[in-house]
Amino acid sequence: MSCCHQITKTEQFVNDLYQEIGITETHQLEIDELSQLLNIWIHYASIPSRAIDSAKGLSTMFIDDRNNLVKQWLEFLHELCHLLRHAGNQTLMPKQFTDAQEKEAERFVLYAAIPFSMLNRLTLPTRKSDAIAFVAHEFRVPLELAERRIEQIEHDNYQSKLMLENNSTFNGSSLTFDEDLNNDSSLGVRIRAYYDYDGDWSRPHTLVVEQPAGFNWDSQLPIQIDKNYRQCDIPPYLPGSAASVLSEDIQVIHDKPGFVSINLSKIAWRHGKSIDQLFLSVDTIEDALNF
- Tell me whether residue 143 is in a domain: no
Predicted pLDDT of residue 55 = 58
Residue 100: domain span: 30-114
Contact call for residues 257 and 221 (beta carbons, < 8 A) = no
Maximum average pLDDT range among 27-31, 88-92, 120-124, 127-131: 27-31
Average pLDDT, the chain: 79
Residue 241: pLDDT band with limits 50, 70, 90: confident
Number of domains in the chain: 2
What burial class does residue 87 get, using C-beta atoms within 10 Å of its C-beta: 0-12 exposed, 13-18 middle, 19+ buried? exposed
**pLDDT surpasses 60 at 150:** yes
How large is the average pLDDT for residues 89-103? 54
Q: Of 92, 114, 136, at which residue does a domain stop?
A: 114
User: Nearest 5 degrees, angle CA 38-CA 41-CA 109?
Assistant: 55
Q: Of 82, 114, 146, at which residue does a domain stop?
A: 114
Q: What is the pTM of this model?
A: 0.56
- Tell me whether residue 218 is in a domain: yes
- Tell me whether residue 234 is in a domain: yes
- Tell me whether residue 207 is in a domain: yes
How large is the average pLDDT for residues 252-280? 89
Residue 138: pLDDT band with limits 50, 70, 90: very high
- Tell me whether residue 217 is in a domain: yes
- The CATH number for 86's domain is 3.30.2010
| Three-state secondary structure readout of the chain | CCCCCCCCHHHHHHHHHHHHHCCCCHHHCCHHHHHHHCCEEEEEECCCCEEECCCCCCEEEEEECCCCHHHHHHHHHHHHHHHHHCCCCHHHCCHHHHHHHHHHHHHHHHHHHCCHHHHCCCCCCCEHHHHHHHHHHHHCCCHHHHHHHHHHHHHHHHHCCHHHHCCCCCCCCCCCCECCCCCECCCCEEEEEECCCCCCCCCCCEEEEECCCCCCCCCEEEEECCCCCCECCCCCCCCCCEEECCHHHEEECCCCCCEEEEEHHHHHHHHCCCCCEEEEEHHHHHHHHHC
- Tell me whether residue 182 is in a domain: no
- Tell me whether residue 167 is in a domain: no
Predicted pLDDT of residue 67 = 92
pLDDT tens-digit readout, 55-77: 556 788 999 999 999 999 999 99
Range of weakest confidence among 167-176, 231-240, 260-269, 275-284: 167-176
What burial class does residue 32 get, using C-beta atoms within 10 Å of its C-beta: 0-12 exposed, 13-18 middle, 19+ buried? exposed
Residue 45: pLDDT band with limits 50, 70, 90: very high
**pLDDT surpasses 60 at 160:** no
Strand partners, 250: 262
